[in-house]
Structure 1
Amino acid sequence: MPELPEVETVRRTLLPLVVGKTIERVKVHRSKIIQHPDVATFCERLKGQTIHDIHRRGKFLLFQFDDVVLVSHLRMEGRYIYEKESAPFDQHTHVFFAFTDRTELRYRDVRKFGTMHLFDKGEELRVPPLSKVGREPFDEQFTVSWLSEQLQRTKRTIKATLLDQTIVAGLGNIYVDEVLFRSFIHPERIAATLTTQEIEALHSAIIQTIQEAIEKGGSTVRTYVNTQGKTGTFQTQLYVYGRVNMPCRRCGNPIIKTVVANRGTHYCKYCQI
């Protein structure tokens, strides 16, 4: 599933392609992707709307139009493709935004789990799904003291807590494993037992890891590519994720894989005691 660095990379590569484009019509081949409003209203409201910007909130893309905002979540394998209107497409392409210049932005999703919501401007942050999204790693309010308060309130493992999008927005399975390794924290530690020193290390690791991943265009460990069809390169720098039985880059002992919070979890039992 694309996490914050991958979604941010998609946003950055989409911007020069579609900003300033005006929608002539919208076609939807799979109605379940459109969560709000109904499909007919969704298509009608986007007619004649111009894309002015694309923002991001956690793992969500926010397309800024004249007076509406399209909130898009890529889920497992969603992908935006920019093509000429005449270009061929396959059965996994489900939503078509046709522009007045005869180009199209297409949404392709093999797993069909992606979602789209269309709201009046200003409404998108007050209602789900965005109203439930937590703080971003780069927010000024994402401080060590705030993070400490959140961890003290739960009896869950630190892995489960960091995966909770209502607390820290944008972290998924890959980057949670990575930041815990960088912080020397075992994924099954109860979040409330972390010391001040450990929380400081965790806070720093979250910001640093996400920033480095964005700079590398995200991690391609399965099917992720950006809007231009390019893969990320941060996967070559991963310390633990996807490296089961491979030597730890820090101590040389084999990386272990287990299940924590119902997710495959990679760690080093010597570095993360």
Structure 2
Amino acid sequence: MPELPEVETVRRTLENLVLGKTIEDITVKWAKIIKHPDDLAEFKSLLVGQTIRSIGRRGKFLKIILDDVVLVSHLRMEGRYVYVENGEEADKHTHVIFSFTDGSELRYRDVRKFGTMHVYPLGEEEAHLPLSQLGPEPFDPSFEPIELWNKLQKTTRKIKPVLLDQTVLVGLGNIYVDEALFKVGLSPEAEARSLSKKQVEKLHQAIVETLMEAVEQGGSTIRSYVNSQGDMGMFQQRLSVYARKGEPCLNCGTEIIRIVVGGRGTHICPSCQK
């Protein structure tokens, strides 16, 4: 599933491609992607005639901001947007097509059909699901280490499942949790509330640094992720533990192992993260 760096990369790419474009028509081939409103005619009427003014992001969600409404889009496992100018025929995995007045199209393609779309009046999107229950943004200057520490004190869960919880902190998934925990030498199995304020301060810094570096590299292409122009992310070339099972730790040379924590495959150095 695309995490914050991948979604931010898609946001930046779309911003360069579709700003100022006006929606002339919408074709929906897989109605289950549309979650709100659940009436397709209403969904289309809210968007047709609207011009895209900006592209935002909240956690792993894209916010396509138009004149009067906001389209909240979650890519889930395999979703991606493809910008098309030449009118080529859409493949079988293209489920929503936004046709613009200039003849170009923005197509939503999703092999697994897990993605979702919600449309709300401009300014009201944060008050409704799926955005209303999200935690703070890692890049928000107001999100300080003490706030993270306070959240960790309220749970007996292991640190990895807590960091994956989007109500605690948004944007993190398997890749970047593993990388951040390795960077500070923390075991993913450590009880969250057992961490000291100093450890949480270092973890907070590692999370921000890891995500920022990944954004600069265009995210990580592990399986199928590419941006809206078909370009791969490059951060996978800088991964320290994720997907490196059997390879030597970059710090100490110990073999990276894969364990399961909270039901999720997890990569660690058993020496650096005791």
Bin the TM-score by the shorter chain.
over 0.9
Letter in 2 for 1:212: E
Q: 1:152 offset after TM fit, Å?
A: 0.4
2:125 counterpart SS class: coil
In structure 1, the residue matched to 2:18 is 18
CA distance in 1, matches of 2:184, 2:130: 30
Letter in 2 for 1:8: E
Q: 1:239 offset after TM fit, Å?
A: 0.5
**Matches for 1:98-109 after TM superposition, within 5 Å:** 98-109=99-110
Q: How many pairs does the alignment contain?
A: 273
Q: Which runs of 4+ in 1 moved over 2 A?
A: none
* Alignment check: 8 A CA contact 1:82 1:106 kept: yes
CA distance in 2, matches of 1:260, 1:39: 40
Letter in 2 for 1:108: R
* Alignment check: 8 A CA contact 2:146 2:197 kept: no
CA distance in 2, matches of 1:64, 1:197: 39
Q: 1:153 offset after TM fit, Å?
A: 0.4
Letter in 1 for 2:109: R
| 1:83 is aligned to 2:84 | yes
The CA RMSD over aligned residues, in Å, is 0.7
CA distance in 2, matches of 1:128, 1:45: 18
Q: 1:86 offset after TM fit, Å?
A: 1.9
| 1:184 is aligned to 2:185 | yes
Letter in 2 for 1:180: L
CA distance in 2, matches of 1:143, 1:84: 44
CA distance in 2, matches of 1:45, 1:128: 18
| 1:32 is aligned to 2:32 | yes
CA distance in 1, matches of 2:260, 2:54: 40
Q: 1:84 offset after TM fit, Å?
A: 2.3
**Matches for 1:111-190 after TM superposition, within 5 Å:** 111-190=112-191
**Matches for 1:205-220 after TM superposition, within 5 Å:** 205-220=206-221
Structure 2: stretches of 5+ with no match in the other structure: none
Letter in 2 for 1:115: T
Determine what percentage of the aligned residue pairs are the same residue.
Answer: 59
CA distance in 2, matches of 1:39, 1:76: 23
Is 92-101 or 195-204 further displaced after alignment? 195-204
CA distance in 1, matches of 2:134, 2:40: 25
Q: 1:183 offset after TM fit, Å?
A: 1.2
1:257 counterpart SS class: strand
Is 47-56 or 196-205 further displaced after alignment? 196-205
CA distance in 2, matches of 1:49, 1:105: 14
User: How high is the TM-score relative to the length of structure 1?
Assistant: 0.99
Q: 1:216 offset after TM fit, Å?
A: 0.2
| 1:64 is aligned to 2:65 | yes
Letter in 2 for 1:68: V
User: How high is the TM-score relative to the length of structure 2?
Assistant: 0.98
Structure 1: stretches of 5+ with no match in the other structure: none
CA distance in 1, matches of 2:41, 2:259: 45
* Alignment check: 8 A CA contact 1:85 1:98 kept: no
